[in-house]
């Protein structure tokens, strides 16, 4: 089952972004310290009372203040939310009352059976709270009065959300020890062909596993006596013309797939330049500590010299994931597919590996002793202990005297040395300092 999506909709300037950041618990315009992961996100994972969902600000699809295009953009936003959401948060401005645009958006949202929470935002005073009664005229239920800016009414809103979103549980048909592999990529890079090649060419299909009407179809198959759940995101492109927000729609679908995967295959097109969306989605996988494989499709069109040039370009664009293996494949001609699946098995084995405690401790002391210890003034970093806290991904917790002394470059140094010495060839390690 896909992670539920809670979509925020509303006309311009009603406070959608403020509410988005408030529910996320942070400002979600992320600038990471490592190259390649800087981005502004319209989607972020949120957990409330053990229920996890993806919060999406559909305003990111480009609502215009130009009256000539406002209506079509509003319609695109509503349809976008209807397509993807488990719950829709319809945000209005309590001080302006129900506007014609609010009514138009209401009429569009009525077409869905998706639960809708009507929110009257900017209720900063007792008087403005009373104004929310006017919104009953929209006919879509009782409004929840909030002030996203002042954090008023947010707890009541959170409670309403968690009562409506489904409990996201793994499909009972899947063995919990099986590998979950997602194929991620922009439209027309060959995802459908690759999925078909993997599942139809000399491999045993165990069962097709349908999700909801909005979900992709998962396929559980056997490869070298190992169960692999293939998450097919090939259906992320809507029918007909490319509509407003198609790139964001694609990224949201990709993020859903990444949430459910433990290994992600980023599929590139040998004939197309690498785009920001490619690195954006790869950044999501890296930040979620997933196994990452980069596959360049349609490689039958490339000469050896062109492959060498493209390898350099991939390494440059995906420098934030230097451990990710790169494969040149042809989904159409079924070349390189076995290499990918063999690597999936290796990465899975690495992700499930546990390190003997004394070996881990001795290694970390050697690593620390071989590099200048971080310090600030007269205060130097002291690592008091290290344990392996989890697997899939391998997670290591370091107890230190001062977490402020941990620079990302020093953390990267420790991870690189651990990966080298412990033979985590293609696996990102989750290092936690506390």
Per-domain boundaries in the chain: 3-162, 171-350, 355-431
How confident is the model at residue 50, as a pLDDT? 81
pLDDT, greater one: 217 or 276: 276
Mean pLDDT confidence for 82-100: 90
Helix (H) or strand (E) holding 317: helix 304-317
Count other Cβ atoms within 10 Å, centred on residue 133: 13
pLDDT in tens, 297-314: 999 989 999 999 999 999
- Residues 92 and 120 sit within 8 Å (Cβ to Cβ): yes
Query: Encoding tokens for residue 427?
Result: 């696996």
Fold match between domain 171-350 and domain 355-431:
no
Query: Encoding tokens for residue 52?
Result: 């996890």
CATH superfamily of this structure's domain 3-162: P-loop containing nucleotide triphosphate hydrolases (3.40.50.300)
What SS3 class is residue 232? strand
pLDDT in tens, 206-242: 444 433 323 445 677 888 988 888 886 643 343 343 3
Q: What angle do CA 45, 180, 32 make, to 5 degrees?
A: 40
pLDDT in tens, 33-72: 443 332 334 677 788 988 888 888 766 444 444 555 555 6
Among 182-191, 213-222, 290-299, the least confident range: 213-222
Mean pLDDT confidence for 334-350: 95
Report whether pLDDT(6) > 60: yes
Report whether pLDDT(243) > 50: no
How confident is the model at residue 324, as a pLDDT? 95
Q: Band of the pLDDT at 257, cuts 50, 70, 90?
A: confident
Whole-prediction pTM: 0.69
Q: Band of the pLDDT at 400, cuts 50, 70, 90?
A: very high
234-261: buried (b, 16+ CB within 10 Å) or exposed (e) per residue?
bebbbeeeebbbbbbbbbbbbbbbbbbb
CA–CA separation, 125 and 373 (whole Å)? 53
* Helix, strand, coil abundance in the chain, percent, nearest 5: 40, 25, 35
In CATH, 171-350 is 3.40.50.12160: no
Report whether pLDDT(295) > 80: yes
pLDDT in tens, 132-161: 999 999 999 999 999 999 999 999 999 999
Instruction: Spell out the residues 6+ positions from residue 163 whose beta carbon is closer than 8 angstroms to its own.
Output: none
Q: CATH topology for 355-431?
A: GMP Synthetase; Chain A, domain 3 (3.30.300)
Report whether pLDDT(325) > 60: yes
Give backbone dihedrals phi and psi of 244, rounded to 5 degrees, phi first. Answer: -55, 135
């Amino acid at each position: 089952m896909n992670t539920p999506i809670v979509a925020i909709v509303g006309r311009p300037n009603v406070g959608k972004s403020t509410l988005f950041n408030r529910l996320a618990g942070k400002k979600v315009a992320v600038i990471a310290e490592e190259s390649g992961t800087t981005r502004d996100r319209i989607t972020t994972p949120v957990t409330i009372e053990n229920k996890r969902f993806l919060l999406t600000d559909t305003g990111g699809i480009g609502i215009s203040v130009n009256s000539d295009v406002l209506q079509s953009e509003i319609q695109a936003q509503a349809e976008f939310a209807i397509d993807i959401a488990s719950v829709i948060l319809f945000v209005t401005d309590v001080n302006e009352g129900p506007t014609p645009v609010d009514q138009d958006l209401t009429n569009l949202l009525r077409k869905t059976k998706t639960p809708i929470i009507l929110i009257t935002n900017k209720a900063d005073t007792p008087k403005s709270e009373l104004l929310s009664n006017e919104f009953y005229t929209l006919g879509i239920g009782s409004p929840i009065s909030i002030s996203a800016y002042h954090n008023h009414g947010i707890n009541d809103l959170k409670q309403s959300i968690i009562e409506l979103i489904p409990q996201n549980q793994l499909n009972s048909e899947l063995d919990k020890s099986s590998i979950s592999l997602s194929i991620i990529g922009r439209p027309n890079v060959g995802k459908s062909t690759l999925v078909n090649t993997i599942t139809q060419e000399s491999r045993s299909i165990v069962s097709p596993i349908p999700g909801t009407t909005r979900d992709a179809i998962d396929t559980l198959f056997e490869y070298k006596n190992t169960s692999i759940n293939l998450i097919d995101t090939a259906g992320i492109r809507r029918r007909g013309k490319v509509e407003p927000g198609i790139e964001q729609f694609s990224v949201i679908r990709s993020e859903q797939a990444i949430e459910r995967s433990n290994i992600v295959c980023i599929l590139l097109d040998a004939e197309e330049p690498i785009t920001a969306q490619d690195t954006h989605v790869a950044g999501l996988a890296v930040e979620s500590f997933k196994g990452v494989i980069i596959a360049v499709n349609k490689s039958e069109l490339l000469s050896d010299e062109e492959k060498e040039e493209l390898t350099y370009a991939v390494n440059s664009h995906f420098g934030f994931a230097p451990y990710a293996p790169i494969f040149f494949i042809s989904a159409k001609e079924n070349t390189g597919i076995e290499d990918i699946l063999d690597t999936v098995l290796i990465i899975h084995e690495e992700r499930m590996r546990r390190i003997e405690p004394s070996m881990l401790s001795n290694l970390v002391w050697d690593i620390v002793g071989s590099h200048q210890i971080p310090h600030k003034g007269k205060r130097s970093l002291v690592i008091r202990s290290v344990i392996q806290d989890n697997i899939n991904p391998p997670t290591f917790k370091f107890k230190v005297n001062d977490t402020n002394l941990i620079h990302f470059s020093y953390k990267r140094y420790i991870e690189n040395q651990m990966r080298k010495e412990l033979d985590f060839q293609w696996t990102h390690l989750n290092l936690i300092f506390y």
